[in-house]
Amino acid sequence: MLKEFRDFIITGNVVEFAVAVIMAAAIGAVVNGFVVDIIMPVIGHYAGGMDFADLHYALDGNDYPSVAAASEAGAAVVAYGRWINTIISLIVVGFIMFLIVKGYNKLQKKEEAVAGPTAEELLAEIRDALKSGR
């Protein structure tokens, strides 16, 4: 059983999957930083200077200047501004992954076009040439 497990782990698909998960986490962190630190401040500036990360609704009915202040006071808070940031991050990550897959597919098609005839096709040509006596 250990040998089967080792063979399973060593196969290319599992290793490729692990690399893909690690890369996706890294891309997600970069995109999240991009959205939170670059995109949202620009959107907030043009939306009247609001900070989306601090948009919230305190369930106790009091007004708090920020989510941190509400949490410090012990109030239950619906932090919908953070949720907006997350949705925008999801859209950006989805778009970036779309571009990566599109580029990968384009490279695959170029490699297939350059590949030329398969070994079977070449052997069939040789066989046919030998049969015809050329």
pTM: 0.58
Domain 2-132, CATH among 3.40.50.300, 1.10.1200.120, 3.40.50.970, 3.40.50.1360: 1.10.1200.120
Q: Of 80, 93, 103, nearest to 34 (Cα)? A: 93
Q: Of 97, 98, 96, 71, nearest to 82 (Cα)? A: 71
Q: Encode pLDDT of 59-114 as tens digits.
A: 888 888 888 888 888 889 998 888 888 888 888 888 888 888 898 888 877 766 66
What is the domain partition of the chain in residue ranges? Answer: 2-132
